[in-house]
Structure 1
Amino acid sequence: MSQPFAAALVAAACVVVIGVAVFVWVLLRQPRQLIRAEYGRQRRRLRLAVHRVRIDGLRWCWTERTGTDASAPTLVMLHGYTGSKENWYRLVPELDARYRLVMPDLPGWGDSERIADADHGFVAEAAHVAAFLRHLDAGPVVLLGHSMGGGIAALVAAKHPDLVARVGLLDAAGVHFEDNAFGLAVLDGRNPFGIENTASMEQYMSVLFHERSARPPLPWPGAIAFVRHRRAEAAFEQSVLDRIGRSDERFAPGDAAGDIRQPAVLIWGAHDAVIDPSAMALYAQRMPQARQVLLDRSGHMTLMEQPREVADAVHWLIERGTPA
């Protein structure tokens, strides 16, 4: 082996070692960067635009798909607890291309601004969402909300009917459902979604998803990055869970649901281990105009487990739903 060739091999090996070291450093110090990179790949594949705007003093971030028909409805989709705008991405290809789709990170979550010690309960977030909808200036929208986002959507629809034309609640929090392990843990002051290691991440996924095949893939080192990111979020997550799960406003969405007069659909996973399916009937009692859709192959993450069936229910809401 010639001396120049050997030197080149050594130099190449050094470059590889340095590259791996830098990658590991980023993973350990900034685990969310790896997650953001994967979200960026998904966003580009779906051809979604990113928007960042300050509204009433808060910096919002959302992704958006422009509809092909300016006269078609705008759909605004609110994610759930520990979630982000990206939770809706599997639903995007299933929705009519005519519709404008707007997927925000709620204040405090994802890439939207988090202000220390701010209130991130149902009522405060509903007020922020109302301000966001006014900023969009899209006329009354079709408002969809999942889990915590469903409770927020119920409040916005009830309190601001001028901003919401139709409402869809997916596995929505905010009513007193039949006891399950998740709810009892929350009442006991624990966070059943807390993640400390890969074992607790497995438990988290098993509670969220009914079918293992529906889980988002997390090949190495994605699982490590996810665990480290969620560890860093633990205190914030607990503060929000205490507010939406144990405070005097934990049933505010259900209390307000009786004032929802817009066309509505309720979508639930039959195997939801987070918000028990009994919650759908409780919402339906207060929203007699709402169609009930129970998905037999879904747990809590209906929007990711059965996106086509969720899209069918949303299309029904837009095309055939009738007000109370």
Structure 2
Amino acid sequence: MERQTIIGRERVDNIDIYFEYDRMDDSLPTLVLLHGFLSSSFSFRKLVPHLIKEFNVISLDLPPFGQSGKDYRYTYSFRNIAKSVVRFLAGKNIGKFSIIGHSMGGQVSLQLIQSHPDLVEHAILLAGSGYQPSYSEKMKLVSYLPFFSFGIKGYLQRSGIEKNLKNVVHDPALIDDEMRQGYIRPFMEKHDIFRALGRMLRDKEVDLLKDELRDILTPCLLVWGRHDRVVPLEIGQRLHGDLPNSELVVLEDTGHLLPEEKPAEIYQLIKQFLGTAALDFGPKEHAHE
């Protein structure tokens, strides 16, 4: 099916949230897509054409990334970002939905599920981050220095887009000019993003703890790449152990950037999961070639 996408921005909690909405059919379930750190809804561009065969799909750029706002005064904790996502969806009259969170989007998804378990029917975490502490008080104090944002910008420039992309995919042959430009463009337009990243460093809270995760009863599908160097499989295995209603699927020959690397396979997993999510998942792990 050809994409017929509505794009726009909505003002929520003193920040602009950019969105892309595919399909608006009341008879179809809705999927909300949340991307990872230093990324945007661009990372789902290969997965969405599959998903719109069966679902309404709404992709968001989480502040301060992509084309969403980068206001220095916004609170960039995952808990607050999750609250803004909920308020955005309420403004679109989206009451019940399933959520797909990649990497940092998984952390935001878990915060959202914990605070609004009645809204989320199912969760799909694609290499979802977890178990991270907040930053040290020393690092938070350093982030107040006038030139800290220039330091962040310099670090990202020195590491380079090519090196960063090779770190997140298993097969470097997947990297092309479209991918390079799609990931680097938001960091070339304004300096505001680097200032907001400094604020995000200060605002980050401790991730959900084991007891909090065990209280989440939402059916969760955890999908991991066997060769993930950013959020290693060990994190997925820990989440599987702590989320009582979860299933873990491991994809072979795959790194961290799952929506780019295996979009067709992930679509099939999501389709199958949403058809069987009411089942009681046991402690099991699948590996897919």
SS at match of 2:177: coil
- Residue by residue over 1:232-259, the C-alpha shift from the partner in whole angstroms, topping out at 9 and shown as x without a partner, is 4444335435654xxxx23237663222
Contact 2:220–2:245 (8 Å) recurs in 1:
yes
Contact 1:62–1:105 (8 Å) recurs in 2:
yes
Is 1:260 the counterpart of 2:221 in the alignment? Answer: no
TM-aligned CA distance change 1:225 to 1:215, over 3 Å:
closer
Report the CA distance between 1:74 and its aligned residue: 0.4
Q: Give every structure 1 segment of 4 or more consecutive aligned residues whose post-TM-superposition deviation is greater than 6 Å.
A: 189-193
SS at match of 1:150: helix
Contact 1:175–1:282 (8 Å) recurs in 2:
no
Q: For residue 10 of structure 2, what is the aligned residue in structure 1?
A: 53
Find the aligned partners of 2:53 and 2:263 in 1 and give their Cα distance: 15
Contact 1:297–1:305 (8 Å) recurs in 2:
no
1:176-191 superposed matches below 5 A = none
SS at match of 1:252: coil
Q: For residue 157 of structure 2, what is the aligned residue in structure 1?
A: 196
Report the CA distance between 1:172 and its aligned residue: 1.0
Contact 1:77–1:104 (8 Å) recurs in 2:
yes
Alignment-mate amino acid for residue 10 of structure 2: V
SS at match of 1:165: strand
TM-score, normalised on structure 1?
Answer: 0.72
SS at match of 2:20: strand
Q: For residue 237 of structure 1, what is the aligned residue in structure 2?
A: 197
Report the CA distance between 1:191 and its aligned residue: 6.9
TM-aligned CA distance change 1:322 to 1:114, over 3 Å:
same
Alignment-mate amino acid for residue 86 of structure 2: A
Q: For residue 257 of structure 2, what is the aligned residue in structure 1?
A: 301
How many residues were matched structurally? 264
Selected match of 1:65 from 18, 22, 31? 22
- Which structure features the higher share of helix residues? 1
| 5+ long unaligned stretches in structure 1 | 1-44, 178-185
Is 1:210 the counterpart of 2:166 in the alignment? Answer: no
Q: For residue 84 of structure 2, what is the aligned residue in structure 1?
A: 128
TM-aligned CA distance change 1:133 to 1:86, over 3 Å:
same
Q: Over alpha carbons, which structure has the higher Rg? A: 1
Q: For residue 27 of structure 1, what is the aligned residue in structure 2?
A: none
Alignment-mate amino acid for residue 206 of structure 2: R
| 5+ long unaligned stretches in structure 2 | 134-138, 144-150, 281-289
1:6-17 superposed matches below 5 A = none
Alignment-mate amino acid for residue 284 of structure 1: H
Find the aligned partners of 1:296 and 1:257 in 2 and give their Cα distance: 27
Q: For residue 267 of structure 2, what is the aligned residue in structure 1?
A: 311
Find the aligned partners of 1:98 and 1:131 in 2 and give their Cα distance: 25
1:108-187 superposed matches below 5 A = 108-175=64-131
Q: For residue 283 of structure 2, what is the aligned residue in structure 1?
A: none
- Residue by residue over 1:100-141, the C-alpha shift from the partner in whole angstroms, topping out at 9 and shown as x without a partner, is 000011122222222114221211111111212222322310
SS at match of 1:109: coil
TM-score, normalised on structure 2?
Answer: 0.80
Find the aligned partners of 1:153 and 1:301 in 2 and give their Cα distance: 17
- Residue by residue over 1:149-175, the C-alpha shift from the partner in whole angstroms, topping out at 9 and shown as x without a partner, is 110001111210121111111111122
Q: For residue 4 of structure 1, what is the aligned residue in structure 2?
A: none
Find the aligned partners of 1:256 and 1:90 in 2 and give their Cα distance: 33
Report the CA distance between 1:47 and its aligned residue: 2.6
Contact 2:7–2:20 (8 Å) recurs in 1:
yes
